A and B are shown apart, each in its own frame.
Chain A
Amino acid sequence: MLIARSSSVSHIMAHRSKSDMPNHRLKPTPFHDRTARLMLGQSWRRWAGFTVASSYDLSHEREYYAIRNSAALFDVSPLYKYHVTGRDAARLLDRVVTRDVARAKVGQVLYTTWCDGDGKVIDDGTVSRLDDTTYRLTAADPNYRWLGDNARQLDVHIEDVSERIAALALQGPTSRTILELATESSLEALKYFRLVNTSIRGTPVTITRTGYTGDLGYEIWMDAALAIPVWDRLIECGTSYGITPAGMLALDMARVEAGLLLIEVDYYSSRHALIEQQKSSPLELSLDWTLSLDKPQFNGRTAIRAEHARGAAWKFVGVEVDWTSLQSLYANVGLAPRLPTQAWRTSVPLYQAAGGRQIGYATSGTWSPLLKRYLTLAHVEAKYSAPGTTLEIEMTVEHRRKRALATVNALPFYNPARKRA
């Protein structure tokens, strides 16, 4: 097995001579020079050791609507990214992830989870097949050592390209038009979860038709050193089409509408969980569709097959807070319903209807300004997971804990035809 020191290491070393004072700032992304100029309220947050925008405007509202109305531009460079190359690249990934990588065609992208030996989810991300023997894995958490540990005796080369590759997400109804102008080519043929190699203002880019908003959208992958011209070109071509740089607050609302789960919020990586109950299997996360149970071997296969046979005890579902019920809870204290202005990320208990016992908990929630519905993502005991099931959710109304009616929904809550069209 070969594990190369990532070129990003030498990159950092070059920027920090040995005897420098350590830099105690969070890392800027390759687009920082551009994003910093747009930032009006200094509302930065950290993501994987980088500085990214919560919102550029003082409120994230305009950024949220851009996702559904025109096009939002997100700097997603902090994602962890690994290049896996070599004769056994597919074999390595097939050992690690739950999808069938060997069957993916060149130019295909797979959303997948990966698990520990007990079949509990470590992380989720995408695998892109860049050519015959090269794959890119994106991940929410560091996975360099995990890939290396799984690569014993395989002819494969793993490179951490997290810092070398910059990434943007362009999401929303006008995203295709903008990208076609920027690349001076047609993207009509680029299907959902497929990729194409092209260039934008001289920078070679890979465009994947993927995203975290559940809308028509693309992600653009490029060399960090050549990233700025791409940003500039997108803004140039996009201005007449409503392109709007957007931050994590807007993204968080859109991903709840899209029913997309978030690590450390909707589930704990089995690597970070401190007790067994904090771990989840892919089946418990309702990711059954990402499991290639017939693959001969992958981490957690035995446990997952057994769980599949007996049925998962938990399911991950959408739960909508009933408006009338919420309204009456507030009316009882003389108020109109108070709605969250941002997506929340706390654990909120769910109960059986009619004042019954606790049968689950919501882990994310948002008021959807577009759908005018109060949406949550939740873990429920399997028998309460059928769409249409009536539950109760804890709502704090004027400092007091109350229960509002809530209904289990199929995910995603929002699924425009343009997403796949």
Chain B
Amino acid sequence: MTSHRYDAIVIGGGHNGLVNAAYLARAGKKVVVLERRHLVGGAAVTEEIYPGFKYSVFSYVVSLLRPEIIRDLDLPRHGLEILPLESTVTPMFDGNYIAGWADHDLTRREIYRHSPRDADAYDEYGHMMHHMAMAVKPILAMVPPDPTSLAPSDLKGMLSFAGLFRSLPTRQFHQLYKLMTMSAGDYLDEWFETDVLKATKSASGIIGTFMGPRTPGSAYVLLHHYMGEIDGAFRAWGFAKGGTGAISKAIASAAREAGAEIRLNASVAQVIVKNGRATGVAMANGDEFHAPVVVTSLDPKRSFLQLIERKELPAEFVRDIERYKIRGSSGKVNLSLSELPEFTCMPGNGPHHRGAFSISPTMEYVENAYDDAKYGDFSKKPYMDIVIPSMIDPGMAPPGKHVMSIFVQYAPSNITGGWNDEKREAFGDAVIDAVTRFAPNFRASILHRQVLTPADIESITGLTDGNIFQGELALHQLFFLRPAPGWARFRAPLKGLYQCGSATHPGGGIMGAGGRLAALEILKDVPR
């Protein structure tokens, strides 16, 4: 058994753990990141599962990565290059389609083809969402105050929180209130009449959640996904050159340059607690690391229910964490293709292959997909968000061949009877059937397939139940409630222990905000 001494230990080398370590190291702290797997990135990794074909195994597009992190850590110098994803095409059952293109005039013309009224509404909707995102954005960069605390900093925080909302014109406040309470479907009904347009938009309101487009609260996620658009380029989603793992690699490189140590194949078994204080971690192989600061980037269930003995934590806190909703609802299918899919609605190869395809032909289709999951099965006809990374970065596949990334909903973690090999393959078949319905050459073009159920996601990344956001982005677990009432400020009811993963405010996705804000809080507590 060896023992090591540091200023701070970061458990987990996902992008948030790496961001956290980079900021601490830049402040002169001696930091070590302990990552269980043989590579950094967590849910943001690129792996060459089949020779020559590189998969963004889990997370596949990026828009929410905080620009201040890109600047502070000088990530472009460390290899980060985010390329635009230019379009979304939704094939319809009757051979028609609806598309959103990077060019405003083209998008307007396309929507006009379906409804002149919606073409006008689309601009106004975008305008309203801009206002909403502007209103909510400052909250993303803010440490959430504790509403029950009377500490001056918390009171001030609550006031500026309230001030943000008070500063909104009444009409916009009403819209924000609706976004916070309504279902994506109902909210979109107030704006649009074209079903396929609503289906595609509302799909972005259900990503990563265990909600259907008609579930109240799903409208907020529409906004969460809009957030990336208001910083700099007005382009929602981008694709990292080299796949999503390239983002993690760039952050790791910046962290190392700042002096952080990153240890791979290093699985933490337990947080060492002495006299009510976290003092280090014990590894699966028996090694120990000691530091006055221990930061966990894992989801709260894993951090607090597995790595820490219950007796070290207040009972009501443990109860809150047990109640924290973390159901997984998504699966992922990664494919190697011999040729591009030819969609019936848009034959041939074209610019649409550089963008996303949304399999959301009708509202009913998406809602039915949810119904399957609600009753414990995977969606027989799932909603899918499809991209072809090799069309954007040719280095992702051998020349002339392609890789495809399919994000699938719903694949419930609590599927009746549990997941097994047979169900995984049946799920993969359902996905391929559903795409082939719109692109007849698709099935025959598949060279390799990797099907990932929530159970697989959990076993590889450690995300409990495979929930992509380390806990649902539902209103009752956002802001000062994330992850548990009273413990939203990156601390934990154990001195020296901090949290920095997606389960902390402001939430999931490749954002890095948790990692950064936690580091700033830690540096307030620890003298420089």
The answer to whether the Cβ of B307 comes within 8 Å of any Cβ in the partner chain is: no
The 0/1 profile, CB within 8 Å of B marked 1, for residues 60-102 of chain A is 0000000000000000000000000000000000000000000
Residue interface mask A3-26, B partner, CB < 8 A = 1: 101100100110010111110101
- Pick the most buried of A13, A26, A49, A272: most chain B CB atoms within 10 A of its CB: A49
Q: Which of A12, A26, A27, A148 contacts B117 (CB 8 A)?
A: A148
User: Which of B5-13, B122-130, B316-324, B402-410 interfaces with chain A?
Assistant: B122-130
- Decide if B350 touches A18 in the complex (CB within 8 Å): no
Q: Which among A22, A146, A148 has the highest number of chain B CB atoms within 10 Å?
A: A22
A21 lies within 8 A of B346 (CB): yes
Q: Find chain B residues with CB under 8 A from A49 CB.
A: 105-106, 108-109
Segment among B91-99, B271-279, B383-391, B498-506 that sits at the interface with chain A: B91-99
Closest Cβ–Cβ distance, residue A310 to chain B (whole Å): 21
B116 located at the interface, meaning its Cβ lies under 8 Å from any Cβ of chain A in the complex: yes
For residue A349, give the distance in angstroms from its CB to the closest CB of chain B: 26
Q: Which chain B residues in 101-115 approach chain A with CB under 8 Å?
A: 101, 103, 105-106, 108-110, 112-113
Which residues in B have their C-beta under 8 angstroms from that of A13? 113
Secondary structure at the A interface, as helix, strand, loop or mixed, is: loop
- Min distance, Cβ A32 to any Cβ of chain B, angstroms: 16
Residues of A within 8 A of B106 (CB): 22, 24, 49
In the assembled complex, the Cα of A24 lies from the Cα of B99 at a distance in Å of 12
Given contacts A18-B345, A272-B127, contact A27 B109 (CB under 8 A): yes
A145-B120 in contact given A19-B95, A24-B351 (Cβ < 8 Å): yes
User: Is B432 close to A, CB under 8 A?
Assistant: no
- Given A24-B101, A26-B105, A49-B108, A19-B347 contact (CB < 8 Å): yes
Contact of A144 with B by CB under 8 A = yes
Q: Interface size bucket, A side?
A: 20 to 34
Known: A24-B106, A145-B121, A274-B130. A12 touches B113 (CB 8 A): yes
| Contact among B103, B346, B352 with A19 in the assembled complex (CB-CB below 8 Å) | B346
Whether B348 sits at the interface, judged by CB under 8 Å, is: yes
The interface centre, meaning the residue of A5, A6, A21, A146 with most chain B CB atoms within 10 A of its CB, is: A21
A400-B393 Cα distance, complex, nearest whole Å: 44
What string of 1s and 0s marks CB contacts (under 8 Å) between B167-193 and chain A? 001000000000000000000000000
User: Can you report 7 residue pairs joining A to B where beta carbons are below 8 Å apart?
Assistant: A12-B109, A18-B94, A18-B96, A19-B345, A20-B346, A24-B351, A142-B123
Whether A9 and B105, one on each chain, are in contact in the complex, defined by CB atoms closer than 8 angstroms, is no
- How big is the B interface, by class? 20 to 34
A160 within 8 A of B: yes
Given contacts A18-B94, A19-B344, contact A6 B120 (CB under 8 A): no
Q: Which of B96, B116, B127, B169 contacts A144 (CB 8 A)?
A: B116
What residues of A have a CB within 8 angstroms of the CB of B120 in the complex? 142-146
Residues of chain A lying within 8 A (CB to CB) of residue B350 = 21-22
Tell me if B119 counts as interface (CB < 8 A to partner A).
yes
Which residues between 325 and 373 of chain B lie within 8 Å of chain A, taking CB atoms?
344-348, 350-352
Q: Is A45 in contact with chain B by the CB < 8 A criterion?
A: no
Residues of chain B with a CB closer than 8 A to A144's CB = 116-117, 119-120
| Interface residue A34 (Cβ < 8 Å from any Cβ of B) | no
- Mask, A123-146, CB within 8 Å of B = 1, is 000000000000000000011111
Q: Which residues of A contact B (CB under 8 A)?
A: 3, 5-6, 9, 12-13, 16, 18-22, 24, 26-27, 46, 48-49, 142-146, 148, 160, 271-272, 274, 276
For A5, A144, A146, A272, which residue has the most chain B Cβ atoms within 10 angstroms? Answer: A144
- Taken together as a complex, chains A and B put the C-alpha atoms of A274 and B348 apart, in Å, by 41
> Besides the contacts A9-B113, A18-B94, what 14 more A-B pairs have beta carbons closer than 8 Å?
A9-B116, A16-B113, A19-B344, A19-B345, A19-B346, A24-B101, A27-B109, A142-B120, A144-B117, A145-B121, A145-B124, A148-B117, A271-B124, A276-B169
Is B495 among interface residues, defined by CB-CB distance under 8 A?
Answer: no
Instruction: Kindly list the 8 A-B residue pairs having the minimum CB-CB distance in the complex, ordered from nearest.
Output: A145-B120, A49-B105, A142-B120, A18-B96, A145-B117, A144-B116, A18-B95, A160-B116
Minimum distance in angstroms from B31 CB to a CB of chain A: 41
CB distance from A47 to the nearest CB of B (A): 10
Q: In chain B, what residue has the closest Cβ to A49?
A: B105
> Bound state CA distance, A27 and B109, in angstroms?
9
Contacts of B131 on A, CB cut-off 8 Å?
Answer: 274
Which B residues are in CB contact (< 8 Å) with A46? 105
> Min CB distance, A262 to chain B, in Å?
18
B105 touches A21 (CB 8 A): no
A21 touches B348 (CB 8 A): yes
A3 to B110, CA, bound (A): 20
How far apart are the CA atoms of A143 and B121 in the complex, in Å?
10
Residues of chain A contacted by B351 (CB below 8 angstroms): 24
Min distance, Cβ A94 to any Cβ of chain B, angstroms: 21
Which A-chain residue is minimally distant from B346 (CB atoms)?
A: A21
> Bound complex: CA of A13 vs CA of B114, how far in Å?
10
Complex Cα distance, B105 from A16, in Å, reads 17
Q: A142 contacts B119, CB within 8 Å?
A: yes
